[in-house]
Amino acid sequence: MSHPCRKQLRGPYCGLDFRHIGSVGLDVRSHHVWHNHKSEYGQCSWCVTRDGTLYVRTHLGSKSTQLGSHPPDLLARILMKEINAQAKCADGC
């Protein structure tokens, strides 16, 4: 006899055994799409989370900020400029 949860599942979860969810718990992970950006400040990767936080990573460091009403690629460029400025200051202003 099949577990009742299996009848409700569609797509890639169809046929998986979820009987352990009630006793052990389910680790829910959110996946984010990372974008690459190149400007006069170098290259970076950035993503936006569900709560509206922008994360920017470069080879020199990383920063994050709330999006607000600004486009994420513009904010990524600004954060990349700040990361570069901090790296230069760390080397000696």
Residue 36 lies in a domain: yes
pLDDT tens for 63-88 read 999 988 889 999 999 999 999 999 88
Query: 12 vs 6, 8, 9, 15, 22, CA distance in Å?
Result: 12, 12, 8, 8, 20
Residue 65 lies in a domain: yes
Q: What is the pLDDT of residue 45?
A: 93
pLDDT tens for 31-59 read 788 999 898 988 999 999 988 999 999 99
Q: What is the pLDDT of residue 11?
A: 47
pTM: 0.64
The β-bridge partners of 44 are 37
Q: Is residue 15 over pLDDT 60?
A: no
Residues 69 and 54 sit within 8 Å (Cβ to Cβ): no
Cα torsion 56, 62, 68, 70: sign: negative
- Tally the domains of the chain: 1
> Domain range spanning residue 83?
29-92
